[in-house]
Amino acid sequence: MFPLARIQIPAPQFSEPTLYVRSSGTIDSSGLHLSKDGRATFDTAFGVFAAGRWSRLTSITDLVATMHISGRALVELIAYAGGVDTVIASSDEGGTLSCDDIRAVSAESFYVAVTALEDGVIVRGGEWGTNTPPTRNVHLGVAITTFNRQDYVLATIDKLVALEADVPSVHGHLQVIVVDNARNLQPTIPASAPVRVLPNPNLGGAGGFARGLIEFREGGWSTHVVFMDDDISLEPESIVRTISLLSYADSPDLCIHGAMISEEQPWMQFEAGSAYEFRSVYPLRAHGRGIDLRQRSEVVHDHLEVDLDYSAWWFTVFPMHIGVDNPLPVFVRGDDVAFGLMHTGQHTVTLNGISVWHADFALKNNPSSLYYEVRNFALIDTLVFDDHKRWHLAWRYLGFGFRNAYSHRYASAEYMIWGMKDFLAGPDEWMKIDHSAKHDEIRHVSEEKAGPLSEDLKSLGFTPPKSKPVRLGGFLLSPLLGGGRWIPKSLRSGNVGVAQIDVRAVGLAIRHDKILYRHPRFEEGFVCERDSKRFRAVQHDVFATTWQLLRTYKKLKKAYRAQYPDLVSTESWKTRCGISN
């Protein structure tokens, strides 16, 4: 039998065990304990076998389920389709259960159920497998970029080392390169472990992943590479299922994206791939946001593959023959977007059980993030889209710039202007950027950064965002009222307005001189205050840079496209990394 995936019992301390198993039994280090007639079902996010997706992406024919159980128990292999659960096979004598033709059953998913026939039954887990031989031999290179995230990345390294050593389907199929942009990582790695740590200048995620990709490309061992962030909590099963799906994939171009689950709410899926709409004020559109993975209906149903434009690099896998170009030198924010739009996005799928946990981005974003987004998204639009015109970029820049200015978020607007000025400087100047020095220059921002709230601010509560038509009305009204500067003081509120941390409260800012932007689930946020002098300066700079953009965009687009091969070339990246060609 060839393994496909593991059926796991979660760690005893894991806060959301229903992501793995549904049961009233107790879990300890030895497994899941069931009393007589106790039942455990694996119709869960990490337990089901996604028959529909496997049928479309691979040519496997049969499916085998093996459970590891102590004590007498009834084990059932169940097919779910159209709201109906059908027992395909069962046994009270252990061994394996199989389905000879998964397509004939027309199941959306399969799962295993275990019923204890006596007290003291212990379920230790199991495996999904097949008798269909794999179609390709996968060698997976893991490239991790890190900068002072020791707690996270050391845990990830330990998981990968243990996985490669202990799981036969992974052993000999995994190599790991950790690119240390801080040059201070000192992991304890067994001599036999296929892990290398490479010191690197701080060139951001883009530079770290470029270095890792170049190393794997020149090493010649890898068939595929996974880009993995350093600030994730990795589910090691993601690697197991990645290797198995790639081993059976009908398409040699198949790319895989690991869904992001919220670290703060470890049952909530935050993103499973994204779209990119360059005509929108904010172009990123996440798929699969806000899904409760504890809900049975979400995980047993066969969701058809979604067309993705790109996948974020907390966990993205692609074959080496697709990764012929290196990432753009953008430091952070947008390197994954560009790579997906140009190379991997159209080939990318997700699969249940290939996931990571990651902190909420609303707690990480700050004005320096907008510097990178404005600068880098402008470059991406210029390089990727033939029909992208100057007014598309001007519309986005004006729209988002004034949303920040009219909502008292002046630091965000100022960093946007800074990013646009650096884009307008052109590709020759971009090639000269000292990315580490640039990042040190822009990262020292004290405003609009989430932090713990005082008791007074906590007492203000939280106001959910208004409906989109109401927000649009506020945005249209605000310029007519000078952002609230021209309304009588009698109509202004002396109270602090409250808005969600990731919105631009333009309407609220008309009447409120102070706005608390706070997280909806955590006691963190920041206060922004009206500043008419600063507003006028922002307004002037936004108009000035927009006019420059409109005058020079056509020339810039031609120049950036001509410079693209040099921007991403291995020679350029080696020079940035300080390594010999």
Q: What order do you get walking across the sheet with 291-292 strand by strand?
A: 232-234, 355-358, 259-262, 268-271, 291-292
Neighbour-count burial for 257-266, b at 16+ CB within 10 Å, e otherwise: bbbbbbbebe
Counting residues of the chain whose pLDDT is more than 90, the rounded percentage is 90
How many whole angstroms separate alpha carbon 103 and alpha carbon 115? Answer: 27
How many whole angstroms separate alpha carbon 145 and alpha carbon 162? Answer: 20
CATH 2.60.120 residue window(s) in the chain: 2-130
Structure tokens that stand for 206 in this block:
């883009």
Contact residues for 131 (Cβ-Cβ < 8 A; gap 6+): 1, 2, 61, 62, 64
Structure tokens that stand for 317 in this block:
């896998």
How many whole angstroms separate alpha carbon 155 and alpha carbon 227? Answer: 17
Contact residues for 95 (Cβ-Cβ < 8 A; gap 6+): 66
CATH 3.90.550.60 residue window(s) in the chain: 140-359
- The tens digit of pLDDT for each residue in 313-341 reads 999 999 999 999 999 999 999 999 999 99
Q: How many CB atoms lie within 10 A of CB 30?
A: 12
Contact residues for 456 (Cβ-Cβ < 8 A; gap 6+): none
Can you tell me the mean pLDDT for 172-184? 98
Whether 471 shows a pLDDT value over 80: the answer reads no
Q: How many CB atoms lie within 10 A of CB 198?
A: 18
Q: How many CB atoms lie within 10 A of CB 464?
A: 10
Contact by Cβ (8 Å): 306, 349: no
Contact by Cβ (8 Å): 177, 212: yes
Q: What is the pLDDT at residue 461?
A: 87
CATH number of 140-359: 3.90.550.60
Model confidence at 180, pLDDT cuts 50, 70, 90, reads: very high
Q: How far is CA 86 from CA 53, 74, 92, 347, 572, in A?
A: 19, 15, 17, 33, 58
Can you tell me the mean pLDDT for 559-571? 98
Structure tokens that stand for 41 in this block:
């079902």
Model confidence at 492, pLDDT cuts 50, 70, 90, reads: confident
Least reliable range by pLDDT among 40-49, 236-245, 472-481, 510-519: 472-481
Model confidence at 581, pLDDT cuts 50, 70, 90, reads: low
DSSP string covering 275-344: EE-TTSSS-EEESSTTEETT-HHHHHS-PPPPP-SB--TTSEEEETTT--SPPPS-SSSSHHHHHIIIII
DSSP string covering 88-115: EEEESS-SEEEES-HHHHT-SEEEEEEE
Contact by Cβ (8 Å): 298, 291: yes
Contact residues for 269 (Cβ-Cβ < 8 A; gap 6+): 259, 260, 261, 262, 288, 289, 290, 291, 292, 293, 355
How many whole angstroms separate alpha carbon 432 and alpha carbon 181? Answer: 19
Q: How far is CA 390 from CA 208, 393, 419, 546, 549, in A?
A: 32, 5, 16, 10, 7
* Residue predicted with more confidence, 167 or 482: 167
Whether 549 shows a pLDDT value over 70: the answer reads yes
Whether 465 shows a pLDDT value over 80: the answer reads no
* Residue predicted with more confidence, 364 or 142: 142
- The tens digit of pLDDT for each residue in 386-431 reads 999 999 999 999 999 999 999 999 999 999 999 999 999 999 999 9
Contact by Cβ (8 Å): 484, 497: no
Q: What is the pLDDT at residue 482?
A: 84
Model confidence at 489, pLDDT cuts 50, 70, 90, reads: confident
Question: For tokens 């689930």, what's the residue?
Answer: 521
- The tens digit of pLDDT for each residue in 249-290 reads 999 999 999 999 999 999 999 999 999 999 998 999 999 999
- The tens digit of pLDDT for each residue in 57-111 reads 999 999 999 999 999 999 999 999 999 999 999 999 977 999 999 999 999 999 9
Q: Which helix (H) or strand (E) holds 380?
A: helix 367-384
Q: How far is CA 308 from CA 192, 259, 320, in A?
A: 38, 13, 19
How many whole angstroms separate alpha carbon 81 and alpha carbon 99? Answer: 15
Angle 494-495-496 from CA coordinates, rounded to 5°:
125
Q: Which overall architecture, per CATH, does domain 2-130 show?
A: Sandwich (2.60)
- The tens digit of pLDDT for each residue in 10-55 reads 999 999 999 999 999 999 999 999 999 999 999 999 999 999 999 9
Contact by Cβ (8 Å): 145, 209: yes
Can you tell me the mean pLDDT for 232-249? 98
Structure tokens that stand for 151 in this block:
């707690």
Q: What is the pLDDT at residue 473?
A: 82
Q: What is the pLDDT at residue 469?
A: 82
Contact by Cβ (8 Å): 40, 168: no
122 residue type, one letter: I
Closest CA to 416 of 515, 333, 341, 528: 333
Helix or strand or coil: residue 196?
Answer: strand
Structure tokens that stand for 516 in this block:
């608390």
Can you tell me the mean pLDDT for 143-167? 97
The pairing of beta strand 348-349 with beta strand 259-262: unpaired
- Neighbouring C-alpha atoms within 13 Å toward the C-beta of 476: 6
**pTM higher than 0.85 for the full model?**
yes
Question: For tokens 């490479």, what's the residue?
Answer: 198
How many whole angstroms separate alpha carbon 434 and alpha carbon 466? Answer: 42
Four-residue CA torsion sign, 163, 168, 172, 173: negative
